[in-house]
Amino acid sequence: MKCLGSLTFKFKQAVNPLAFVCYRFRFTQELHAHLNGSLSEDTLRDLFMENPDLKSDERIKSLISSFLLKSRSLEECFKKFEIAHAVTVTPAAVKRATKDVISDFAADGVAYLELRTTPRSVPGIMSKSEYVQAVVDTIKDVQAFNSSDKFIIVKLLLSINRQESPIEAEENVRKAIEANAAYPDIVVGVDLSGNPKYGDVVRNILPLLTEARKSGLKVVLHCAEIPNENEVEEMLKFNADRLGHGTCVHPSYGGSEKLWRLLLDSKTPLEVCLTSNVKCKTVETYENHHLRHLLQLQHPFAISTDDKGVFSTSLSKEFELAAKTFNLSSLELCNCVAMAINASFASTDEKNELMSKLSAFKIERGLG
Ligand SMILES: CNc1ncnc2c1ncn2[C@@H]1O[C@H](COP(=O)(O)O)[C@@H](O)[C@H]1O
Ligand SMILES: [Zn+2]
């Protein structure tokens, strides 16, 4: 067991040579991770056991045991979030969940983590403000213990769930603006996520995100997880700071030449989540993932996990998968890390620090 400030974690067995060096050097960047989708099975079980109300709830018990079953569709993945939400219903549970997730990423070699989460209230127990405060306080605690050799930079994006009402969306944007004013070094942006089948994003949500952007927040959008020509076009024209997935933009994947050209011209970095896309069946195979086009055309992207708990993955596994599927060399993987640093919402000083960690790794491996 090793200690990272207030975090205690086990170094995992290395899965590949890159992962081994990753955790020793700790220089990778995770830009797309949903807090409740990232809970490990251990954390879920612990939170479940600690809550006496849940222990006697047979429905939750059976849901938990199905959490890690193989998913067959995007719809099934969304059911799994209900399980994580059922165990994070108090500020204490939210703190524990946040701490465990940061610890898991740190143990996997992540130096810079952008977590995102949807502010959630539980009647009579927790308000949305208390939820956000619990996450922010945990990030502050972890960062207070950063040192030169053991550190992780953590930022927070607040999510808007497109399935919720426009009133909820407005409330979440307001929370994000307030939290950014109070913690500008931590709360840096807003994310649009949720089941892509629902919600009138163009009419109800993009105008709110324009307000968020005006107040200085970065904006990221889950974009084109399923085909939707009009919505995707408006999202691409919105000029977000980054886009999640971007699956159905290319004409071969349910998009069109027009959408693909808009994406390429925008140069907006895509957050690429290989395992998530294949397990949700929005992409058929790893070989056919749109990452191959991004690589060919040198469009910027960041390899990410999305929901490491739901999809039983880790950032180092995603790097390994990308390397194996697309035959990437160690140097090319390092270029992926550099792209993610550039696409991140870290400050200039933080980016310089992360780049120097990457350089140290490259020198040690004789890569330049
Ligand atoms: C699989 N691809 C995806 N597409 C769209 N939204 C997703 C997602 N994965 C996760 N979420 C969003 O993140 C929430 C869980 O984390 P938080 O409670 O916010 O921490 C889900 O309820 C969903 O709204
Ligand atoms: Zn996502």
Centre of ligand 1 to C-alpha 363, Å, is: 38
pLDDT of residue 328 exceeding 50, the answer is yes
Centre of ligand 1 to C-alpha 238, Å, is: 21
Could you confirm whether 233 is annotated as catalytic? no
Confidence label for 251 from pLDDT (cuts 50, 70 and 90): very high
What are 295-324's pLDDT values in tens digits?
999 999 999 999 999 999 999 999 999 999
Q: How buried is 267 (Cβ within 10 angstroms: 0-12 exposed, 13-18 middle, 19+ buried)?
A: exposed
Task: Please indicate whether residue 199, judged by its CB atom, sits closer than 6 Å to ligand 1.
Answer: no
pLDDT of residue 75 exceeding 90, the answer is no
Task: Return the ligand 1 atom nearest residue 162 CA.
Answer: 24
Centre of ligand 1 to C-alpha 192, Å, is: 9
Task: Please indicate whether residue 101, judged by its CB atom, sits closer than 6 Å to ligand 1.
Answer: no
Mean per-residue pLDDT for 179-196?
Answer: 98
Ligand showing the shortest atom-to-Cα distance for residue 134 = 1
Task: Please indicate whether residue 313, judged by its CB atom, sits closer than 6 Å to ligand 1.
Answer: no
**What residues are paired with 245 via a beta bridge?**
223
Provide the pLDDT for residue 2.
36
Q: CA–CA separation, 339 vs 301, rounded Å?
A: 7
Positive or negative torsion for Cα 235, 236, 241, 245: positive
φ/ψ of 177, rounded to 5, equals -65, -45
Confidence label for 9 from pLDDT (cuts 50, 70 and 90): very low
CB count within 10 Å of CB 16 equals 15
Provide the pLDDT for residue 52.
80
What are 259-308's pLDDT values in tens digits?
999 999 999 999 999 999 999 999 999 999 999 999 999 999 999 999 99
